[in-house]
Structure 1
């Protein structure tokens, strides 16, 4: 019994570790892109941000992370080993928050000749060819807090990538399409969806780019 339980939990542990590693690498990738001023936008495409509603919150967290480093260092300065550990953790946390902010700027939604690329933070990156897309509309919707990403509305399976419970663009797909979401089922894994709802800071510009590139 114990052996079976250990074997069954091993894949879950590896899955969590692999996900954490991917996020960590993406943090440093985003910082590198920010330094080089090279956002992840395909040639001929236009990038559309989705950070405006959360920008102030991220900046506050970064400021607090930076402020707590000298404060904690002052508290534990008489214990060298503890001081070094706390300093490393503090710098790592600050770097992580800066990388997350960079990810919002460097990993925008993209509308281009090949189709639409939808992103959300560090993990979600979904690409759809124009042949996959039936329609794109500007529809602003506010969902109740803690509404799951995956829902069913009017008989259609929806994926909602909200920013502070809001979406501003609705993309209807030609057919049920498999998308990969971070985490384990039921929230993560592979799911078939027919509608994608997302937030962009510039929905009018997003639709203009769609009209330019959509066949």
Structure 2
């Protein structure tokens, strides 16, 4: 049982406040990711190697960015005569393109990390799960395809498992020595603190990931 299974449901005020703070953190993360991309400085702990996970969604992200960019001049041409409509739509369009670029940069600049302290399992803008070597029992290549909209945390072979899927797939299984608390963005039951016995992630190059693990584990 996770630490959130018996927790009282948060109030409407708590949920609203959490949503606002989370949205603010995401917005700041967008610009921080763009800044890291411009400076070519991935978010990696000292001595750690980065392992990408963006390959399955890269084409989709690029298509959305291109479509969003093309949409701006098209809409501007349509509403050019009405400044009160044109200006807000321009601002919204530019913000949308910036947001999509920031999301792409987050995938590129926040890779999984393997280093002296352990593994940091990441996904996009928000999720960053640190796992120390003392907590890790084993790491193996184990590809798995889940159904769409599968829960992020579920029981699997008797273990509470966190799955950080990319396009519904994972290919690395990290088994933990004991139920280990991890924190997800948002409020319970889907967010907050959970105790998990395994973590599944997707890595673009699982062999390189395993070589990095072998150097440290």
Deviation at 1:43, TM superposition (A): 2.0
Aligned residues: 208
What is the alpha-carbon distance in structure 1 between the residues aligned to residue 123 and residue 142 of structure 2? Answer: 18
State which of 147, 158, 161 in structure 2 corresponds to 1:158: 161
Give the ranges of 4+ consecutive aligned residues of structure 1 lying more than 4 Å apart after TM superposition.
none
Distance 2:12 2:189 in 1: 17
Q: Please give the secondary structure, in 2, of the residue aligned with 1:131.
A: coil
Which residue number in structure 2 is paired with residue 139 of structure 1? 142
Whether 1:128 and 2:145 are equivalent positions in the alignment is no
TM-score (norm 1): 0.95
Which 5+ residue runs of structure 2 have no aligned equivalent? 1-9
1:17 equivalenced with 2:20 (yes/no): yes
What does residue 6 of structure 2 align with? none
Separation in structure 2 between the aligned mates of residue 115 and residue 150 of structure 1, nearest angstrom:
21
> SS of 1:207's equivalent?
helix
C-alpha distance in structure 1 between counterparts of 2:154 and 2:117, whole Å:
28
**Structure 2: distance between partners of 1:144 and 1:12:** 28
- For residue 67 of structure 2, what is the aligned residue in structure 1? 64
What is the CA distance between 1:183 and its match in structure 2?
2.2
**5+ residue gaps, structure 1:** 1-6
Q: Could you give the per-residue CA deviations for residues 25-79 of structure 1, whole angstroms, max 9, x where no partner exists?
A: 0000000000000001122111000000000000000000001000111111111
Alignment of 1:98-113 (within 5 A): 98-113=101-116
Considering fraction of residues, name the structure with more helix. 1
In the alignment, what sits opposite 1:3? none
Q: How does 1:80-119 map to 2 (within 5 A)?
A: 80-119=83-122
3-state SS of paired residue (2:41): coil
What's the offset of the Cα at 1:184?
Answer: 2.3
Alpha-carbon shift at residue 81 of structure 1 (Å): 1.6
Q: 3-state SS of the aligned residue for 2:66?
A: helix
2:61 and 2:97 map into 1 onto residues whose CA distance is 11
In 2, the alpha carbon distance for the partners of 1:183 and 1:71 equals 37
How many Å separate the matches in 2 of 1:172 and 1:204?
Answer: 17
1:182-209 deviations in Å (ceiling 9; x for gaps): 2222211111100000000010000000
| CA displacement at 1:8 relative to structure 2 | 3.7
Matched, 1:74 2:84: no
